[in-house]
Structure 1
Amino acid sequence: MKSFPARFLIGFLLLFTGPLADAGTRPSVVFLSPDDSRFWQLVAGFMEAVAEDLEVDLEVQYDRESHRFSYLRMAKDVLSREEKPDYLLFMCKEHVTESMLRLADGAGVKTFTFNTDVPDAARASIGMPRSVLSGWLGHLSPDNIAAGRSLVTLLGKQAEQLGLASGPSIPMVALSGTLDSSATKDRNGGLLAAAVQQRSELMQLVYANWSGALAREKTEVLLKRYPETVSIWSASDGMALGAIEAARNAGRVPGQDLLVGSVDWQPEALDKIRSGELLVSLGRHFMGGGLALLLLHDYHHGRDFDDMSPDYVFRYKLEPATRDNIDQVQRIADPENWSSVDFRQFSRVGETETAKAVPDPDAVLDAITGALARQETGSVASRE
């Protein structure tokens, strides 16, 4: 048995190791939003709701130029401050992710990346979290490859049910995002793999840079070029809304003789699902930033997440919003509803019963979405 002095010394030393050193302070986090689109406003708004409950000091900055170099410049500005944040939270972008991570590590600011996969070049150079840069704490992203594949499947099945797939194949066109986005790359990968394996025939894939206006213009051209088109695969809701407008202008009837599917769970897209013009939107990843904050909060207060993911990399599934579940999804995505749930219950600091039952990202998000779906819009739950 260890003597009392030895046990006291060990306990004393543990106070200066790991995240326990910050356990008594409020964590400060700067989130760099890659643009100010409706989706990223939802991401930031949800993060703010989570931060309020967890007592996290959160600052949100939007990159209104929406370019990788302006994104890098934002990171440099934050990291050059005299009073730096404890944590920097940002999305991985091609060609600048490694620079941002190295700059933060050199400045003594811990980082957490989320929403898109780590670019291949960065992974080849610095590996994954905590392998080369100890301050890079973790990475969280939806399974965008599976999302791209699921959209093809859902569009194809509905085309068959509506009798739109009369020939051996289902003609499809696709709208994708920007070339510097790994979400674009991964969703495209799922699309291309599924199009080879299933009946859907990809006539053409075009890049619309996440822009609804550009997607409308390009869809008008695509429908003239391929009038036999049955389905439109879109990597985002914003582009899908532009495609729906173009289809109507071309005399098509979205939801009847033309099917559109997309990603993001944006409020305007959910309205289109209710009206029947949009078949499906895959989503819930607007909650990714909130989940990242939850992990950082627990880390800051001495509860690391290494037991949830040995390599500190987390991945979760996107879920479909359809006319069958649109009421629940709209409650989940309604900002007025977020204050109705106390997000402290999902923290593992203090070991609440809810937190004990959520060992992985999908389970955590399932618990959060379940709690939100049960709330009535605008209601506020009592807080202890």
Structure 2
Amino acid sequence: MRSYPARFLISFLLLLSVPMANAGPRPSVVFLSPDDSRFWQLVAGFMEAVAEDLEVDLEVQYDRESHRFSYLRMAKDVLSREDKPDYLLFMCKEHVTESMLRLADGAGVKTFTFNTDVPDAARASIGMPRSVLSGWLGHLSPDNIAAGRSLVTLLGKQAEQLGLASGPSIPMVALSGTLDSSATKDRNGGLLAAAVQQRSELMQLVYANWSGTLAREKTEVLLKRYPNTVSIWSASDGMALGAIEAARNAGRTPGKDLLVGGVDWEPEALESIRQGELLVSLGRHFMGGGLALLLLHDYHHGRDFGDMSPDYVFRYKLEPATRDNVERVQRIMDSKNWSAIDFRRFSRVGETDTGKTVPDSDAVLDAITGALAGQRADTVARRE
């Protein structure tokens, strides 16, 4: 049996092994969610789990009007407060990103943008983080171009394996989001590039505004127009599930004679993968807000993230959920697991090992997903 002094020493050493998140005042962050959809609720829920461990005062506001002008109005309301937050965290939207960043900079509130790329117009006017506006600390987004390309590749390979690609090309239709979304534009860009380079032949690309209902209606028309369609590329899981419903109504068998792929790792999509109807969902970007909070927490406590990305811009890859790994992905998505791990372990505050490899955003997310899936993630190393 250990003596009391020995047990005290062990407890003290264990305490020192976790970076201290409460060294200094608690940072206050307001996150402006662009809507209250299932995906953004997942984003906010994960952020809340991270904020609790890191002792960050997080306020989440949902834009229930889901419009760029209502989004801008939300930012103005926050920035006009007498007691302003330390940081404003939001998604880039076409035509209002520059205004939101300039307003925050003028109000003395530091900002961090994430989830979608910086619109071209804003980039042309104010550059990227810290180039014109010193209070714009950083930007984080998934590689949506690679995601669009990867979805075409995965659909095409499965079509070949199932013997659905008997001709010289694989007939494919595509469902995309909204015209004012940079995620839409980038995923479309990956789609179009891959369709040219691979066997998949894009018959038609339509916009379904991220709506499952609209996707179902448009897919019903597309399948009548192109009855030989083999695959349906969808920029979101919600639209993919709408396409699956339309395919069933048309007498097709999703997963057998028609392949559908989406993006988002939505719970309903993961269940559809388990049932064999949805081929694949690309995801993990629901953790983007949590990673942004982690970076802001470390910045607030004196550990800037410039060594992780000299231009303060971070990009990470989306990962596929398939029948082969859906159980693992569901553990990652389980909110009970979010509270089971201590997110302080991924902070670099208090880190003294100067010879340690500097992580990148993919490596940090790999470590987090590994921990959530029950795998070892005690260290964060750069992915080769």
Same fold at TM > 0.5: yes
Task: Check whether the contact 2:237–2:262 (CA below 8 A) recurs between aligned residues.
Answer: yes
Task: Check whether the contact 2:307–2:358 (CA below 8 A) recurs between aligned residues.
Answer: no
Deviations 1:80-104 (A, max 9, x none): 1111000000000111000000000
CA–CA separation in structure 2 for the residues paired with 1:83 and 1:357: 39
CA–CA separation in structure 2 for the residues paired with 1:254 and 1:63: 34
CA–CA separation in structure 1 for the residues paired with 2:182 and 2:87: 23
Task: Check whether the contact 1:170–1:201 (CA below 8 A) recurs between aligned residues.
Answer: yes
Matched residue, 2:131: 131
Normalising by the residue count of structure 1, what TM-score does the alignment of the two structures yield?
0.90
Amino acid paired to 1:367 = A
Aligned structure 1 segments of 4 or more residues deviating by more than 3 angstroms: 355-358
Amino acid paired to 1:198 = Q
Task: Check whether the contact 1:348–1:356 (CA below 8 A) recurs between aligned residues.
Answer: no
- Please say if 1:362 is aligned against 2:362: yes
**Structure 1: gaps of 5 or more residues:** 1-21, 376-384
- Please say if 1:260 is aligned against 2:260: yes
Deviations 1:17-53 (A, max 9, x none): xxxxx96110000000011111110000000000000
Residues 1:170 and 1:256: Cα distance change in structure 2 (over 3 Å): same
Q: Secondary structure at the match of 1:160?
A: helix
Matched residue, 2:210: 210
Task: Check whether the contact 1:116–1:141 (CA below 8 A) recurs between aligned residues.
Answer: yes
Matches for 1:216-295 after TM superposition, within 5 Å: 216-295=216-295
Deviations 1:308-354 (A, max 9, x none): 0100000000000001111110000111211111000000002289x
CA–CA separation in structure 2 for the residues paired with 1:224 and 1:65: 34
Amino acid paired to 2:218 = K
Q: Secondary structure at the match of 1:138?
A: strand
Q: Secondary structure at the match of 1:340?
A: coil
Task: Check whether the contact 1:29–1:85 (CA below 8 A) recurs between aligned residues.
Answer: yes
Task: Check whether the contact 1:39–1:286 (CA below 8 A) recurs between aligned residues.
Answer: yes
Matches for 1:182-197 after TM superposition, within 5 Å: 182-197=182-197
CA–CA separation in structure 1 for the residues paired with 2:123 and 2:315: 16
- Please say if 1:303 is aligned against 2:324: no
- Please say if 1:85 is aligned against 2:119: no
Identical columns (%)? 92
CA–CA separation in structure 2 for the residues paired with 1:49 and 1:321: 23
**Structure 2: gaps of 5 or more residues:** 1-21, 376-384
Deviations 1:141-193 (A, max 9, x none): 00000000000000000000000011111000000001111000000000000
- How many residue pairs match? The answer is 353
Task: Check whether the contact 1:358–1:367 (CA below 8 A) recurs between aligned residues.
Answer: no
Shift of 1:358: 5.9
Matches for 1:88-237 after TM superposition, within 5 Å: 88-237=88-237
Matched residue, 1:346: 346
Normalising by the residue count of structure 2, what TM-score does the alignment of the two structures yield?
0.90
**What root-mean-square deviation, in Å, do the aligned CA atoms of Structure 1 and Structure 2 show?**
1.4
Task: Check whether the contact 1:264–1:282 (CA below 8 A) recurs between aligned residues.
Answer: yes
CA–CA separation in structure 1 for the residues paired with 2:64 and 2:89: 17
Task: Check whether the contact 2:148–2:187 (CA below 8 A) recurs between aligned residues.
Answer: yes
Task: Check whether the contact 1:346–1:352 (CA below 8 A) recurs between aligned residues.
Answer: no
Q: Secondary structure at the match of 2:253?
A: coil
